[in-house]
Amino acid sequence: MSATVLDGKHVAALTEAELTERVSALKQKSGGRTPVLATILVGDDPASATYVKMKGNACRRVGMESLAIELPGSTRTNDLLRQIEELNNNPDVHGILLQHPVPSQIDERAAFDMIALEKDVDGVTCLGFGRMAMGEAAYGCATPQGIMRLLAHYDIALEGKHAVVVGRSPILGKPMAMMMLEANATVTICHSRTRELQSHIRQADVIVGAVGRPEFIRAEWIKDGAVVIDAGYHPGGVGDIELMPLIDRVSAYTPVPGGVGPMTINTLIQQTVESGEKALG
């Protein structure tokens, strides 16, 4: 079997070309203004700083602007909430990203939920999640929304399929399951403590690895012809799914790296452009 490689890097590049045109058109219509993504980095975690830098670079590639806000690691919850409120009230900011994780003394959920719905381009608020789950307008969480876009690009239909999502995080596993349910898949949500996990995975037409453990999902558990989506990334270039033995017997798969990862940042940028178009267009 020749599997389709779900190339997120390729799809992200195509989308960036389209977004560049949209930003240029918006700039002409709005007197030189462009969408602006505000990123908030609390503390000096090197990995988080790298991710924020990558998002800023992605903004510049499509011609839009980013506003980088760096706060000390000693920042308290109320200080962060005030900063987010200031950005909510700033008409020149169209998207707000709070880089995860934040230092332990901060109530991360309170900080996420302070972000205004119309600027929640990373899809992290409870209000945004609830609206998305009910089929109402909201920006989806960037990683699962990126996965849905990737599947759509390669014409992989979910209707009637049995999708198994392994992972239940509030910004990946849970919204992924709701998005697939909205697309008329039959969805099973599993996690690291699920009993008889192998038997659930063997039934999957579409398997999503989002459990956060390297190669936790074994190749032998996955049936021939399945669609394999690996949302994990770990040292050594491996994901949450044991991928190499699957390449010759599944119908489609996301490479690690180069599959889901590029679609996450790309979706964040796309949703910021959409927010900017609503505000400026």
Burial class, 94, CB count within 10 angstroms (exposed 0-12 / middle 13-18 / buried 19+): buried
- Residue 55 annotated to the active site: yes
Q: Which of 7, 122, 230, 240 is catalytic?
A: 122
- Residue 278 annotated to the active site: no
Q: Provide the β-strand partners of residue 209.
A: 166, 230
H or E, element range at 14: helix 8-29
Q: Which of 55, 119, 161, 174 is catalytic?
A: 55
- What does the angle CA 223 – CA 226 – CA 229 come to, to the nearest 5 degrees? 120
- Residue 122 annotated to the active site: yes
Phi then psi dihedrals of residue 211, to 5 deg: -95, -15
Residue 259, both tokens: 């599959």
What DSSP line would sit under 156-205, residue for residue?
A: ---TT-EEEEE---TTTHHHHHHHHHHTT-EEEEE-TT-TTHHHHHHT-S
DSSP letter at 266 equals H
Region label for 247, one of left (φ > 0), alpha (ψ between -120 and 50) or beta (otherwise): alpha
Q: Which of 99, 145, 270, 271 is catalytic?
A: 99
Residue entry with tokens 């700033």:
90
Active site residues: 55, 99, 122
